[in-house]
Amino acid sequence: DDIIYDIKWQSELNSPIELKNNFIITSQRKEKYSCILPILQTTDTKSTETILLSDIEPLIEKLHSKKLCTYRLDPYWTYELFHGIHIRQYHENKIADKRVIHQEYFLGYYHSNNQDIITNTDNEQVLKIHHKTVNNRIIPMLPIRYTDGTACDINSNKPREVLVFYVCYENGNNGVINFQEVSSCQYEMTVASAWICELPEFNSL
């Protein structure tokens, strides 16, 4: 069913509040809104830990061959991670017992040649392991990039992009445990997976 929100407008401010990293947009009704852009957040980039592409590639290909779809339901948006294909964000309503999608954005597509692959001193292709602190523990994560999403009109029409972090969880079923927009139309998604626990680099237990 449709959800109707009761919006209570506050009285007009006598003087505007100074906000950083914001811009003004005007609606078709000439209403002005001040939009605040999120400030870029980064993971730990000091680590030099890497993993051989030849070690991780077979596991990624096995995951992608299963054609799995994972969904995250937020109050307004639904996020669809089609592993190895795309990431989609959409909002749907139920009209006459039918689900109708009203808004839809593709946040990125998987391309094997668009990954953050580097060459080490032994002339081997490797991926850098990222780390995040969760509950005072440093957790290693595998980054997989999804690029070339729907153009972002508030970011000079640059394509949307998602960095998916796979984290080891023995009971994980490739579910999305976290999603955030770290800067305008740039996103991070964390996925709990059991398959990555096969690699000692990601098994932090």
Residue 18, phi then psi, degrees to nearest 5: -80, 120
- Tens of pLDDT, residues 74-123: 988 999 999 999 999 998 877 766 777 778 999 999 999 999 999 999 99
Number of domains forming the structure of the chain: 1
Say if CB 33 and CB 27 are below 8 A apart. Answer: yes
Residue 1's contacts (CB-CB under 8 Å, 6 or more residues apart) are 94
Within a domain: 40: no
The whole-model pTM stands at 0.75
Residue 1 has pLDDT above 60, yes or no: no
Residue 160 sits in a domain of what CATH number? 2.70.130.10
Q: Residue 1 falls within a domain, yes or no?
A: no
pLDDT on residue 34: 67
- For the chain, the average pLDDT equals 83
Q: Write out pLDDT tens, residues 23-34.
A: 677 777 778 776
Question: Whole domain around residue 128: which residue ranges?
Answer: 50-198
Q: Name the least confident of 2-16, 53-67, 82-96, 110-124.
A: 2-16
